[in-house]
C-alpha cells in the first residue's frame, strides 16, 4: 500500500475530522445545527493550529482565537468552555482517530511481519495526512494540566504498546530475534515521530512519505532479524 491509495481509502479531510468530532462531543456543544457546527469547528481548529504554530498555544487567548476565525468570543464558548478544554479535546480526538485507523489496518494482518509493516505505513501516512495535528499534539502536551498531560502520555504509550506487542508476537513465532521489545518499540516510535517533527528536513531532500516508510521498514526489519 502506498500513500495515495491510503488517502483514497481513508479520505481524511478537515471536514471529516470535524464531523466525527461533533458526533463524539455534541452533548457539550450548545449549537445544534450540524452544518453550522462543522463549519465553525473547522475554523476553530484551523485558527488554533495557525496561532499555536506562530506563537504557541500557551500564549494564545480565546480572544486571539475569535479574532483569527471571525467568530465572537461568546460564540466560541458555545463550542469549548476554555482554551484548555479545546486543547484537551483536540488531543483526545487525534488519538482516537489514530488508534481506530491503526486497529482497522493491523487487525486483518496474519503475521507479525505484516502487522509491523502495516503499523509503520499507517502511522506515517496518518502523520502525513494530519501533520499539523500531530505536530501540535507533540508540542503542546507540556501546556496541559498534570492530569491531562498524564492521559496524553498514556495515549502515546498505547501506540508504543501496539508496536511492542507485535514484536513480542514475532519473537514468539521466531520471526524476530530476541531484542528488548520495549526498547525496540521506543526507538521505532521515535523514528516515526521524526517524520512529522522534522518534515521540512525531508521535504528539502525530496524524500516522500513512501520513501521514508520503505527506508524505515528496511532498517527496522534488518535490526529485528539481526542476532
Q: What is the CATH number of the domain that holds 108?
A: 1.10.357.10
- Output the furthest CA–CA distance in the chain (Å, rounded): 62
Grid cell listed for 31: 449549537
The boundaries of the domain holding residue 12 are: 3-224
Give the list of residues 6+ apart from residue 108 with CB closer than 8 angstroms, or none: none
pLDDT tens digit sequence for 5-37:
888 888 777 788 888 888 888 888 888 888 888
**What is the enclosing helix (H) or strand (E) of 72?**
none
**118 vs 8, higher pLDDT:** 118
What pLDDT does 226 receive?
67
pLDDT over 70 percentage in the chain: 98
**What is the enclosing helix (H) or strand (E) of 96?**
helix 83-106
Give the list of residues 6+ apart from residue 173 with CB closer than 8 angstroms, or none: 111, 112
Mean pLDDT of 154-173: 89
Nearest to 95 by CA among 39, 148, 35: 148
Q: Please check whether residue 84 is in contact with residue 146, taking contact to mean a CB–CB distance below 8 angstroms.
A: no
Nearest to 42 by CA among 61, 11, 68: 68
Please identify which residue in the block is written with the cell numbers 481524511.
12
Q: Looking at the 3D structure of the chain, how many domains does it have?
A: 1
What secondary structure letter does DSSP report for 119? H
pLDDT tens digit sequence for 160-169:
999 999 999 9
Amino acid at each position: 500500500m502506498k500513500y495515495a491509495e491510503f488517502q483514497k481509502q481513508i479520505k481524511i479531510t478537515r471536514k471529516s475530522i470535524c464531523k466525527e468530532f461533533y458526533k463524539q462531543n455534541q452533548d457539550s456543544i450548545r449549537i445544534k445545527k450540524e452544518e453550522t457546527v462543522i463549519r465553525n469547528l473547522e475554523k476553530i481548529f484551523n485558527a488554533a493550529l495557525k496561532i499555536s504554530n506562530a506563537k504557541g498555544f500557551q500564549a494564545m487567548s480565546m480572544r486571539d482565537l475569535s479574532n483569527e476565525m471571525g467568530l465572537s468570543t461568546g460564540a466560541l464558548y458555545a463550542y469549548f468552555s476554555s482554551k484548555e478544554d479545546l486543547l484537551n479535546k483536540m488531543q483526545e480526538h487525534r488519538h482516537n482517530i489514530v488508534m481506530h485507523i491503526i486497529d482497522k489496518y493491523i487487525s486483518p494482518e496474519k503475521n507479525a511481519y505484516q502487522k509491523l509493516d502495516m503499523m509503520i505505513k499507517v502511522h506515517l501516512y496518518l502523520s502525513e495526512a494530519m501533520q499539523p495535528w500531530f505536530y501540535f499534539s507533540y508540542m503542546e502536551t507540556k501546556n496541559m494540566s498534570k492530569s491531562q498531560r498524564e492521559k496524553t502520555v498514556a495515549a502515546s504509550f498505547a501506540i508504543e504498546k501496539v508496536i511492542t506487542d507485535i514484536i513480542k508476537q514475532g519473537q514468539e513465532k521466531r520471526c524476530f530475534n530476541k531484542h528488548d521489545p520495549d526498547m525496540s518499540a521506543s526507538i521505532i516510535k521515535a523514528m516515526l515521530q521524526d517524520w512529522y517533527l522534522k518534515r521540512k528536513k525531508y521535504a528539502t531532500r525530496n524524500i516522500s512519505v513512501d520513501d521514508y516508510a520503505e527506508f524505515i521498514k528496511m532498517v527496522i526489519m534488518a535490526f529485528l532479524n539481526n542476532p
